[in-house]
Structure formats: C-alpha cells, structure tokens
Amino acid sequence: MNKKLTTAILSLTLTTTLLAAENGASLYKKCAGCHGTKGEKAALGKSKIIKDFKKGQFISALKGYKAGTYGGAQKVVMQGQVKNLSDAQISAIASFIAK
Ligand code: HEC
C-alpha cells in the first residue's frame, strides 16, 4: 500500500472514531438528567449504575428495552428513551458511557 493511501485511511479512521465519540456524548445528553452526567446515578432511584456496565451489557440492555425483552418495573420509561435510536447510535452511546 502506498503512503498517501495509508495516511488517508488512518485519518479517515481517526475522524470516524472522533465523530462516533462526539455523537455518543451528544446522544447521551438526554439520558444525563436521570442517569447522571457520567452514568453514576441510579435513575429515578431504580436503575443499576450504568457507568459500571460493560459495553456489551449496555448494548444488550438498550436493544432489549427496544425489543421489549429486558427491564424491570420501570422499563416503560426506558422503552420511550430508546425506541428511536439506531444500532449505530446505541453503540456510540455505549462507547461514551459504558466500560
Ligand atoms: C426519565 C428518566 C430516564 C431517562 C431520560 C433515561 N433513563 Fe435509562 N433508565 C431509567 C430507569 C428508571 C431505568 C430502570 C428501568 C427498569 O426498571 O428496567 C433505566 C435503565 C437503564 C439501563 C439499564 C440499567 C438497569 O437497571 O438494568 C440503561 C443501560 C439505560 N437506562 C440507559 C439509558 C440511556 C442510554 C438513556 C438515554 C438515551 C437513558 N437511559 C435515559 C430512567 C431513565
């Protein structure tokens, strides 16, 4: 592979990573009111502390809320939060807030 192409691919990868991080941060804004700016709060006194979630666990929880297969007594609250999120957006949020 020539140098120019390698550089172009590297900077493209970097830009994509940065954009995903940025996107995750802005998508998370609407979650912060309940979960805390770093995911450190028990939302409405009920949820688990989401900053302690592993990325995969976080993604399956959100997809589960979307599919109606995950959650506790307050799951309706979360179903409303995630119903319009795409898989890519869910991953971006996971990269921002989960471990
Ligand atoms: C109105 C308050 C509120 C907002 C806003 C909110 N959540 Fe939640 N979240 C909750 C509650 C309450 C639960 C626990 C629901 C249950 O009983 O399953 C929860 C659960 C979760 C869980 C699983 C934790 C567990 O207890 O198993 C994750 C992950 C999560 N929320 C992520 C998010 C993300 C990401 C957003 C933003 C897109 C968000 N939440 C927005 C209230 C909120």
CA-proximal residue: ligand 1, atom 5 (nearest): 31
pLDDT tens per residue, range 63-91? 999 999 999 999 999 999 999 999 999 99
Q: Which two tokens stand for residue 46?
A: 């009920």
Q: Measure the CA angle with vertex 67, ends 18 and 75; round to 5°.
A: 90
Q: Is the CB of 98 under 6 A from ligand 1?
A: no
22 CA to middle of ligand 1, Å?
A: 20
Is the pLDDT confidence value at 22 over 70?
no
Model confidence at 24, pLDDT cuts 50, 70, 90, reads very high
Q: Which amino acid is at 63?
A: K
Residue 20 is predicted with a pLDDT of 65
Model confidence at 14, pLDDT cuts 50, 70, 90, reads confident
Q: Which amino acid is at 70?
A: Y
CA-proximal residue: ligand 1, atom 14 (nearest): 47
User: What percent of the chain clears pLDDT 90, i.e. is strictly above it?
Assistant: 78
5 CA to middle of ligand 1, Å?
A: 43
The atom of ligand 1 lying closest to the CA of 53 is 29
